[in-house]
Each structure stands twice: as C-alpha cells, then as structure tokens.
Chain A
C-alpha cells in the first residue's frame, strides 16, 4: 500500500477498472472508505436533489475525511519526504519529477511559512487510519442492514446502528446527527401523509370515463385533473380532452366547454395531481406546488423575449430573458368614458389598417 495515495477509495477501482493503476492518487484498498459525498451539493448546486446517489452532507462534517484528496499533488510529496521512510521518499521523487517547480514551492512553503503546518500534515498522515475515522461516531454512516431490521455483524458492525423511527418503523435515525434525524422525520411525515392521501384517493371516480382514476391502465393516465372552480373529480386526460377537443357547433366555450361538466361552474384552469384532496388547504397546496413548478420552466411562447405569450401576465411559466432578468410587465390602463378602467392588451398597427 502506497502512502502517496489518498485514503479515499478510488471509484473507478470500485467499479473494477481504474486506468491509472498503481499511479492512481486514490486508494485501491478495499478497507478504505469510498467518498460517497456529493461534491456538487457541497458547492451548493446538485441538480439531482433528493434523488442524488451520493451523500448530501454539509462541508463542516467532511473537512476531516476530505482534506486529503484535493491538495494531494502539491502537498503530499513534501509531507511524505518529511516522514522520511526510505521507500516512500524514493517514491515521492518519482511522482514529483514532472513538477519539480511545484515541489520546490512546496518545500519552501513548508519550511519558511510554518513548520507547524508540515508537522500537522505528518500527524494527520500517520494517525488518520481508517479506525481513527470511526472515533467520531457522527462521521460513521448508518448501517443499512440494521435500518432494514437485521445486521449480520451485530455489535461488531463498523457503521452506526440507528434509532427506531416511529413513523416508518425502521432503525434509521442517526444518534449523533441531530440535523439528519430532523430531516428524516420531516421526510418520513411527508411520505406518510402522501401515502395516506394516495390510499384515500383510490376510490375516487372520474365523472367522464366513470372509472377509478388511480386504477387506469397506464401510469400516465392515473392523474387527477383538479378544477380551479369546483371540487368535482376527473382524470386529467378526460377533462383536458373535453376542454380542448372539437365540439358540436353552437356550444358556448365559456359556459359549456370551460365549465365543470357536472356542476357547470366555469373553471379557468385544470391542475394535474397524483393525489386527490380532502380539504381546501390541501387543494391550495397542490395548486400552489404546481404553479411554483411551472414557474421554474421557461415559457415557450415568451421564448426569452423573442416571442409574445398569449397568456401575458397570467402565464404560469417563467418569462425571463436570456440574461436571467424577469420580464417587467407594464400594464396600460385606459380610462373609459363611463369612468371604468380598461387594461389595454398589445395593440398592433395592423389592427387599425383595413386591408
């Protein structure tokens, strides 16, 4: 085992093929821990969010295990030669050859700036064995086997056996990470609520196809269409089909097509949702969630300012220019003769030209 290597397990080696072989900076030793930490999250932007397969932990907790991998190329040769084992120093020169200038820098830094730095590097380098990692229990991950109910290693398990979460019934609460505990509890409560809502929604039938919405043959069809104007349940496919399909001549768009098929209350928009709601607050939450989600997506019609959106200020999608600034809406108000104020929509010259 080379000392020039990081103690973080090489992820390519883990998957069976590291092209760098013995020259790899990362550890090729199975007893070392792999870096399961998401570096994007630490920088504040992991686009996978909760679905990320790497751990989302804050920087503070990681300083110890992650301190080594980044500065390796510059510092390690210096640190190693200071440890003055013959084997490793010869190795160090081999590694350092291509970047001799850097090596010099490192020497100077170490000797002139602070010897203490170098010393701390040594002590870190020698004492930081895998066992040392587990001294702080909050650094040890939760044991997945114990969380699921049974860990074959029992007491001798290297990972933490978590406390029981009363909501999900799994031993997955980390005893030394209060933040994670709270997060898990919040997530668990939310999951439980979703599951209950989903169960209650099972029996709800669409008034158009007369089938249970959540028993439709394909997943895409198993969605409710929430009416903004009333509380009658439909499949989102059925209600959208009715509102956008071709209609018999003479049908009034506002009073018939845009109205609820059951109670005929006009509805301006339909919101898709996988669960049904049982209180006005829940409905509000679903609708707001939907609007927020759409608000993150750029509007196709607006097209970064190149086009015009027919929905104008009522559009649910984002109206932002290429540089990220949001569209500023200036409504033109006209005072009509009767004293009422009218909002003027886009006026085109062609409207006034008679061809």
Chain B
C-alpha cells in the first residue's frame, strides 16, 4: 500500500523550497503514483540553463521500494541512456533507503549531472566519448541541452515561424510575442486586432 500521507508531506516539502533547491515536482491529475519532476541543469556544466524533465513512478511499496525515475528530456550523459533516458544511479536501485525522499532523489540526479561516472556507464557510447574525446563530449552535451532542454527558447522560435507562415512580418510577430509573454494565441489576437 502506498503511503499517501508521506507522499503528500514530501510534495509540500518540495514545494516549500522549490526556488532554492532547483528541483520541483508536479503530479498528474488524480494519480499520486505518477509525477513529473524537473531539475535545473547545474552551473558550470554543459547542462547549465537547461530544464530537465524526469518521469517518476511510485511503486505501491514506496517508500520501502525506490521510485522509478527516467529522463523524459534527452540528455547526453554517460550514466543516462541517450536512447530512452534510463538512469544508472545506485540509490535508485540497490542502495535505496526509505529515509530518502523524492526531493533527495532528484537532488541526487542533479548531482549526477555535474559528476558523471564514466566507469559505471549506462550509455557506453557516451561514456566512451567522455573518456576518449572529452571536448566532443562537452560539445554534444551542450548542443543537446540547447536543443532539448531549453524548450522555452525553442518554443518562441517555432511560434515565430508559425506566425510568419500566417503572413505576418517577422519583426511585428516577434514584438507581439514578446508583449504577450510568449503566449502564441494572445499574440495572434493582438496581431489580428491591431
């Protein structure tokens, strides 16, 4: 049986210092066992500035069994599968302890991003690149962060292209989007109205 009251306490605790810790969680509606965690890319790493989304599934025996976590956002990292986002981290497997929480697990993931362990890899290709050609690894990791983990920036570009395709000039479309805080529909209304 899932310990509902413990999960709720954890969620409150995460919410309390969301800004300071750089990790947050939102639950899917009506289902306490399914959540999405977000991790801010740590400073001084190729993941800096990115926001990484983690799919979290709580087993019914939680907290006596570890939560199942997997990256939804694509990440280039020796301990994270570049194919499906599977994570290789001991505390999510055989070193789990019921005193750990969702917050500490997410913080551990954040720490994993800043300290890769290429000797115990999840993705052999990435690990090999990390060990043999560190510069290329850094470049790829940074590029993947730019492409997949900065959805906000990418979104604006896509929306701009959309608006330009509708027949508005690029400059006016950008101004409208900026004024509406990136909201595509509000920008369209503004453009049509004005």
Does A250 have its Cβ within 8 Å of any Cβ on chain B?
yes
Chain A residues lying within 8 Å of B5, measured Cβ to Cβ, are: 209, 211
Q: How far is the CB of B141 from chain A (nearest CB, A)?
A: 29
Does A158 have its Cβ within 8 Å of any Cβ on chain B?
no
Does A175 have its Cβ within 8 Å of any Cβ on chain B?
no
Q: Is the CB of A207 within 8 A of B99?
A: yes
Q: Is the CB of A246 within 8 A of B61?
A: yes
Q: How far is the CB of B38 from chain A (nearest CB, A)?
A: 22
Q: A229-262 toward B: CB 8 Å interface, digit per residue (1/0)? A: 0001000001001100111111110001001011
Residue of A nearest to B59 (CB): A248
Does B95 have its Cβ within 8 Å of any Cβ on chain A?
yes
Q: Is the CB of A210 within 8 A of B9?
A: yes
Give the residues from 22 to 37 in chain A that come closer than 8 angstroms, CB to CB, to chain B: none
> CA A347 – CA B106 in complex, angstroms?
50
Q: B127-164 toward A: CB 8 Å interface, digit per residue (1/0)? A: 00000000000000000000000000000000000000
Q: Is the CB of B6 within 8 A of A241?
A: no
Main SS at interface, chain A: loop
In the complex where A241-B64, A242-B64, A246-B61 touch, is A210 in contact with B98 (Cβ < 8 A)?
A: no
Q: Is the CB of A252 within 8 A of B94?
A: yes
In the complex where A245-B64, A248-B65 touch, is A261 in contact with B97 (Cβ < 8 A)?
A: yes
> CA A212 – CA B106 in complex, angstroms?
25
Task: Tally chain B residues at the interface, Cβ within 8 Å.
Answer: 18
In the complex where A241-B64, A242-B64, A245-B64 touch, is A208 in contact with B96 (Cβ < 8 A)?
A: no
Does A192 have its Cβ within 8 Å of any Cβ on chain B?
no
Q: Which of B61, B95, B100 meets A245, CB within 8 Å?
A: B61
Chain B residues lying within 8 Å of A242, measured Cβ to Cβ, are: 64, 98
Residue of A nearest to B8 (CB): A210
Chain B residues lying within 8 Å of A291, measured Cβ to Cβ, are: none
Q: Is the CB of A238 within 8 A of B98?
A: yes
> CA A247 – CA B10 in complex, angstroms?
22
Q: Looking at A248, A259, A261, which has the most chain B CB atoms within 10 Å of its CB?
A: A248
Q: Which of B61, B63, B94 meets A208, CB within 8 Å?
A: B63
Main SS at interface, chain B: loop
Residue of A nearest to B64 (CB): A245
Q: Is the CB of B98 within 8 A of A248?
A: no
Chain B residues lying within 8 Å of A58, measured Cβ to Cβ, are: none
Does A177 have its Cβ within 8 Å of any Cβ on chain B?
no
Does B178 have its Cβ within 8 Å of any Cβ on chain A?
no
Residue of A nearest to B97 (CB): A261
Q: Is the CB of B10 within 8 A of A210?
A: yes
Chain A residues lying within 8 Å of B100, measured Cβ to Cβ, are: 261
Does B121 have its Cβ within 8 Å of any Cβ on chain A?
no
> CA A211 – CA B8 in complex, angstroms?
11
> CA A33 – CA B95 in complex, angstroms?
69
Q: Which of A250, A252, A261 meets B98, CB within 8 Å?
A: A261
In the complex where A208-B99, A242-B64, A245-B61 touch, is A251 in contact with B94 (Cβ < 8 A)?
A: yes
Q: How far is the CB of A289 from chain B (nearest CB, A)?
A: 27
Q: How far is the CB of B34 from chain A (nearest CB, A)?
A: 20
Does A264 have its Cβ within 8 Å of any Cβ on chain B?
yes
Q: Is the CB of A250 within 8 A of B94?
A: yes
Q: How far is the CB of B36 from chain A (nearest CB, A)?
A: 22
> CA A259 – CA B95 in complex, angstroms?
11
Give the residues from 43 to 75 in chain A that come closer than 8 angstroms, CB to CB, to chain B: none
Give the residues from 187 to 243 in chain A that come closer than 8 angstroms, CB to CB, to chain B: 207-211, 232, 238, 241-242
Given contacts A208-B63, A238-B98, A256-B94, 6 further A-B pairs with CB under 8 A are A208-B99, A248-B96, A252-B94, A256-B95, A261-B97, A262-B99
Some 22 contacts from A to B, beta carbons below 8 A apart, are A207-B98, A208-B6, A208-B63, A208-B98, A209-B3, A209-B5, A209-B6, A211-B5, A211-B9, A238-B98, A241-B64, A245-B64, A247-B64, A248-B65, A248-B66, A249-B94, A251-B94, A251-B96, A256-B94, A256-B97, A261-B98, A261-B100
